[in-house]
A and B are shown apart, each in its own frame.
Chain A
Amino acid sequence: MALDLGMPILVVDDYQTMVRIIRNLLKQLGFEEVDDASDGTAALARLKNRKYGLVISDWNMEPMTGYELLRHVRADEALRTTPFIMVTAESKTENVIAAKKAGVNNYIVKPFNAATLKSKIEAVCGA
């Protein structure tokens, strides 16, 4: 199944440069509908107001981390099926296992490149 390039994507990161990088990479891949939020709390507010085809989130943010956001999303009946990719510098195996247990669809460790992002989006949204 081809990727739906029109699907809205929510990028969650407290580092504006990273938001800009991901936004540009997504644009290169053909995605134009990209919103952003600076932490889990702001992301949840956006998720309540718009149906996103994918969430790409950092882990380490304040006040609400990406890990907490993931658990909120998976616990919410209306949001639980939203595809969720973690993009983070948290690279310990315990982090990956915890995210997987919490229901993350894929996991990208920073620094990453466009090819990695593309392959994970395809794996999560194109299947």
Chain B
Amino acid sequence: MALASRTRKQNAAPEKSSLISELVEIADYIAHLRTEIAALRANELTRDRLPMAHEELGCVVTATAGATNSIMTVAEEILSLPDDANYRSAVEMRMNDIFEACTFQDITGQRIGKVAEALRNLESRLSRFAAAVKARDEGGIDPEEAKRRKRNELLILNGPQVKGPATAQDEIDAMFN
């Protein structure tokens, strides 16, 4: 009985030491995780950068729509001008309106640049975080994304191609001739 008790005590010592070292490791990992989460600066992203990106892109959409509208209105006006002695001066005056409307490109370019920078920053923080915590993506995809993909597949929605049309108009024409 005394021997058994002594043996248990001798075995318990390394177990305790192992447990302590595991707990220390866990504590270190939690501390590391907290540092990495802090480095993500998630509050700053959700409070400042992402709303800024939304707002800037909204402004871009509004500006491009406004410019397109102005240019089209001028073009429609030109098309309906009477063919008289004042035609040239009337067209020139409206051309200036078109040039003015085209200035949207400078501002929208700057806005898009800000959004691209915010996205680069987000990408860099996320990839650092994923590497630091050795994150692995969970299997499967988000149900909303799955639904969207299924619709796109079913209705053959590929969207515009990055480098222009995937099939040239001539090739399409050949399929209909």
Task: Annotate A98-116 by CB proximity to B: 1 below 8 A, 0 otherwise.
Answer: 1010000011111010001
Q: How far is the CA of A67 from the CA of B155 in the complex (A)?
A: 7
Contact of A65 among B155, B165, B168, B172 (CB under 8 A): B155
Task: Annotate B44-88 by CB proximity to A: 1 below 8 A, 0 otherwise.
Answer: 000000000000000000000100110010011001000000000
Contact of B167 among A91, A106, A112 (CB under 8 A): A91
A95 & B68 in contact (Cβ 8 Å cutoff): no
Taking A67-B155, A98-B156 as contacts, is the C-beta distance between A17 and B68 under 8 angstroms? yes
Interface SS of chain A: helix
Residues in B neighbouring A67, C-beta threshold 8 A: 155-156
B156 & A24 in contact (Cβ 8 Å cutoff): no
Taking A93-B166, A96-B172, A96-B175 as contacts, is the C-beta distance between A17 and B65 under 8 angstroms? yes
Q: How far is the CA of A107 from the CA of B169 in the complex (A)?
A: 8
Q: Which residue of A has the minimal Cβ distance to B161?
A: A91
A60 & B157 in contact (Cβ 8 Å cutoff): yes
A100 & B176 in contact (Cβ 8 Å cutoff): yes
Residues in A neighbouring B158, C-beta threshold 8 A: 90, 92, 94-95
The verdict on A78 contacting chain B, using a C-beta distance below 8 Å, is no
Max count, chain B CB within 10 A of own CB: residue among A96, A106, A112: A96
User: Considering only CB atoms and an 8 Å cut-off, how many residues of chain A contact the other chain?
Assistant: 29
Residues in B neighbouring A110, C-beta threshold 8 A: 160, 165
B167 & A93 in contact (Cβ 8 Å cutoff): yes
B169 & A95 in contact (Cβ 8 Å cutoff): no
Residues in A neighbouring B171, C-beta threshold 8 A: 93
Q: Distance in Å from the Cβ of B89 to the closest Cβ of chain A?
A: 23
Q: Distance in Å from the Cβ of B176 to the closest Cβ of chain A?
A: 6
B172 & A17 in contact (Cβ 8 Å cutoff): no
Q: How far is the CA of A90 from the CA of B168 in the complex (A)?
A: 11
Q: Which residue of A has the minimal Cβ distance to B64?
A: A17
Q: How far is the CA of A64 from the CA of B65 in the complex (A)?
A: 24
B159 & A89 in contact (Cβ 8 Å cutoff): yes
Residues in B neighbouring A112, C-beta threshold 8 A: 169
* 3 interchain residue pairs of minimum CB distance: A91-B165, A89-B160, A91-B166
